[in-house]
Amino acid sequence: MAFDSSSPSDASLSDPSASASRPAASGEPSHRPIAQPVPGTSVNAFVFERASQLSSHVARIIADVIEQRSVLGQRTVLGLVTGSTPADTYRELIRLHREEGLDFSRVVIFLLGEYVGLAPDSPQSHARWIADHLTDHVNIPRESVRVPNVAGTPAQLQASCRDYESAISEAGGLDLVVCGIGRNGHVAFNEPFSVRSSRTRLCTLDPVTRRAAANDFFGEENVPLQAVTVGLETILSADRLCVLALGEHKAAMVRAAFEGPATDRVPASFLQEHSMVEVFLDAPAAGELTGVATPWLLGKTEWTEDSIKRVVLWLCQQTGKALLKLSDDDFREHDLHQLLRHHGPAQRLAGRVFRLMMDTLEYHPAGREPRTCLCFSPHPDDDVISMGGTLIRLIEDGHRVHIAYMTSGNIAVFDHDAVRIADLVAEYNRLFGIDQSESLRVQQEVHQGLQGKRPGQPDVEALQKIKGLIRWSEARAAAFKVGCRDEDLHFLDLPFYRTGTVSKRPVGEEDVRIIVDLLRRVQPEVVFVAGDLADPHGTHRVCADAIFRAILVLEEAGDPLPEVLLYRGAWQEYAMHEIEIAVPLSPGDIELKRKAIFMHESQKDEALFPGSDPREFWERAEDRNRGTADGYNQLGLPEYFALEAFTRWNGQQI
């Protein structure tokens, strides 16, 4: 079967907004552009409403290049990176191969980097990753997938780097590079202060890069110190570059790379020198670009209620003034003459935003009449960490509150905690004469499973079950602490999570069906969903997508639909202009919330996947809640001890 010749033309691929005339996928309205160009950058940058749209679009670009070169009888030479950012793009390429006949038989892939010292079958190796996520699922010849050689002495590695560079040249150079941006601005493994003229070489990894990879290696101490990377000059020699960035944690570096000067401090900034570079962003990653964050600084702005709210709050930040203290001169001094002329004076504008912000303050987030509420918690502790105070308030208000724990969270438990439980149960059964043979067998399986276990290697089944049991017991204790009932706790253990490793399967129909069944059984009127796009695990994003797919199933079946409110996890807070509901918390609420978080003993003091923030989860939660309250106070709004913030789901997938 030939690849669908109706795929978008090269012109539409260069401009995602031009693809509005194409038939839309996944229920996307066909009359809307799938992306908007971002003004003010040094490159062609586009922001997508949904990450899934971005992934599909980039996959179409790759497919179009492959098809065009195949028609000419030519090979397509791709330079690819691995990781969570391009994963959905590669998944879409697999779909195009299986369903539309996209042919990879004339494709050559060069991976842009690999960790030094890892065996090709190591769970963390880029060679293993690209096989699992792309090449094992399409008809590309095995010998056409090239990975840097990372074994041998330093002299042998240097020789291998030269050979890899020669192989790229012999293949005719790279036709298309798909890459991302690291949190420190790296491209592939070209770390800060890499030389612009660099070629394939051995490099030392920056501490920021190693911390970012710590989850995959089950600890920063297990991350290799070195890697082999294709150099900046080699990447910039490609015919075309597609740069992808997802999530708020990339926003600052996206701005530095594409609104600042080209500098070796931010290696990704050199990409702006390429004549055929395109940057594809989701809304959070684009959040700090001038054309997105402060478009009024670039010229004429369409003043809507949302944009007025945003600019007035921004003006408070710039001037250090409360809302009702803003003057006409403040607007003029910040080049907001047009806004002042058409919607002023300052008193009217500030008063308008003051009322909007006052309306966000809500002591009764689900109303005063008893309702059924359902909080979806991606991990077993996200409920109390993220909205523990609101759970307390909902129960005090007489609502029936259900909590659905979507995953077991078993990979986030230390081995020694699981061993302690196995030993305790074995000794407990011996002490009380309870089925000692079986508990001793499990104890032995646990100890044997840990012998020679490498970081990131999946646990044996007994270990996985014990770790899941630890998280289950902690979640119940925390829920009881805020007042929930045992019969209202639901442990879904969604299949996508059951891999035993950091890498998860895509959400499938079984995951969605489990959520649909729960929604139909509980029939909630208000649903709380984790909308944390910067979750370093990625699980929050995946779980949210599964919930939204389930709600779409209900909508198509004509079932009643709940109100959906989004909360943030431990990593980020909503910007002030984004907050739609802010629930005031008293010192007593915060103290009870803290005690609930403390029930998660396996995550206390030291967590297996803490992210880059050294604070404990309870500290992050309290600092964030108090910080939100301080933000309201600085605007001249009522002063509260703490606030938990929410937004309403607008019907778009994350």
By annotation, the residues acting in catalysis are 191
Give the Å distances, CA to CA, from 90 to 131, 135, 250, 529, 568. 11, 9, 20, 27, 28
Residue 368, Cβ neighbours under 10 Å: how many? 10
Written as six digits, the tokens of 185 are 């601005």
**Cα angle 266-53-183, degrees, rounded to a multiple of 5:** 20
- Tell me if 630 sits within 8 A of 622, measured CB to CB: no
CA torsion 468-469-474-475 (nearest 10°) is: 60
Q: What is the DSSP letter of 7?
A: S
DSSP secondary structure string for all residues of 511-527: HHHHHHHHHHHH--SEE
CA torsion 480-481-484-488 (nearest 10°) is: -30
Beta bridge partners of 37: 46
Residues 17, 548: Cα–Cα separation, whole Å: 25
Written as six digits, the tokens of 19 are 């693809």
Written as six digits, the tokens of 360 are 């966000």
Written as six digits, the tokens of 356 are 């909007």
Beta bridge partners of 45: 279
CB burial of residue 331 (10 Å; 0-12, 13-18, 19+): buried
Of 319, 309, 325, 387, whose CA–CA distance to 576 is shortest? 309
What HEC string does 361-421 produce?
ECCCCCCCCCCEEEEEECCCCHHHHHHHHHHHHHHHCCCEEEEEECCCCHHHCCHHHHHHH
